[in-house]
């Protein structure tokens, strides 16, 4: 008889779900942004990072270049949060989709003890910080949700259709795929 694989810890299960939802929501948001004209996409609509493009670039900087590097490599790049990494919207979408897909694999390979520790890193200004690991990882996913919400509000304000990004729709979709 083959040995049963141990079930994931509650922390692994929680963050694996968050990561899968994050991949799904990122993909859906970017699909929703695709038909938007360049004029609306680059327009200053009053978001913290001004435009849809500026906000997506911020997500690339914050999530992929800063937080992912901190969690995966212990690296702490010093990089301004409003740095435009990718001016081309198609390549930016590819980078965001690809970057979001890295999180589930990373999380699945962590030992359960890591969630009880701290994450030591340098801020984007080079200042040292040490924060509880699990809540800081929650911040990464909450941060992305916050900015996806800003972008969907901008889409609505500009008169564009907006993708449905609530987690319950993701869960329902997963349920229907299992049936």
- Asked if residue 2 has pLDDT above 80, the reply is no
Domain carrying residue 52: 22-108+120-165
Tally of domains within the chain:
1
pLDDT of 1 higher than 50: no
Secondary structure of the chain as H, E, C letters: CCCCCCCCCHHHHHHHHHHHHHHHHHHHHHHHHCCCCHHHHHCCCCECCECHHHHHHHHHHHHHHHHHHHHHHCCCCCCCCCCCCCCCHHHHHHHHHHHHCHHHHHHHCCCHHHHHCEEEEECCCCCEEEEEHHHHHHHHHHHHHHHHHHHHHHHHHCCCCCCCCCHHHHHHHHHHHHC
Domain membership flag for residue 97: yes
Residue located via tokens 């999180």:
103
13 within domain boundaries? no
Question: What is the C-alpha to C-alpha distance for residues 96 and 17, in angstroms, rounded to an integer?
Answer: 18
Residue 2 lies in a domain: no
Q: What is the CATH number of the domain that holds 87?
A: 1.20.120
- Total-model pTM: 0.92
Q: What does the pLDDT look like over 112-159, one tens digit per residue? A: 999 999 999 999 888 999 999 999 999 999 999 999 999 999 999 999
Q: Report yes or no on 8 lying in a domain.
A: no
33, part of any domain = yes
| Residue 26 CB contacts under 8 Å (≥ 6 apart), including other chains | 96, 97, 100, 144, 148
Instruction: Between 35 and 6, name the one with better pLDDT.
Output: 35
Confidence label for 14 from pLDDT (cuts 50, 70 and 90): very high
Q: Does some domain include residue 126?
A: yes
Query: Confidence band (pLDDT; 50, 70, 90) for 7?
Result: low
Whole-angstrom distance, CA of residue 47 vs CA of residue 70: 26
Phi, psi dihedral angles at 174 (to 5 degrees): -65, -40
Q: Give per-residue pLDDT as tens, 24-65.
A: 999 999 999 999 999 999 999 999 999 999 999 999 999 999
Q: Is residue 52 part of a domain?
A: yes
SS (H, E, C) 94-111: HHHHHHHCHHHHHHHCCC
Place of tokens 């968050």: 18
């Amino acid at each position: 008889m083959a040995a049963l694989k141990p079930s994931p810890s509650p922390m692994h299960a929680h963050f694996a779900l968050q990561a899968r939802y994050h991949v799904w929501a990122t993909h859906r948001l970017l699909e929703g942004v695709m038909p938007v004209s360049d004029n609306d996409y680059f327009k200053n609509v009053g978001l913290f990072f001004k435009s849809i493009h500026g906000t997506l670039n911020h997500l690339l900087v914050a999530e992929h270049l800063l937080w992912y590097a901190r969690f995966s490599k212990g690296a702490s790049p010093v990089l301004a949060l409003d740095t435009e990494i990718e001016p081309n919207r198609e390549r930016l979408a590819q980078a965001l989709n690809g970057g979001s897909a890295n999180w589930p694999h990373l999380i699945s390979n962590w030992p359960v003890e890591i969630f009880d520790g701290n994450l030591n890193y340098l801020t984007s200004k080079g200042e040292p910080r040490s924060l509880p690991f699990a809540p800081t990882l929650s911040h990464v996913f909450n941060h992305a949700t916050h900015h996806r919400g800003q972008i969907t509000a901008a889409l609505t304000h500009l008169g564009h259709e907006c993708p449905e990004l609530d987690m319950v729709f993701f869960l329902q979709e997963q349920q229907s795929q299992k049936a």
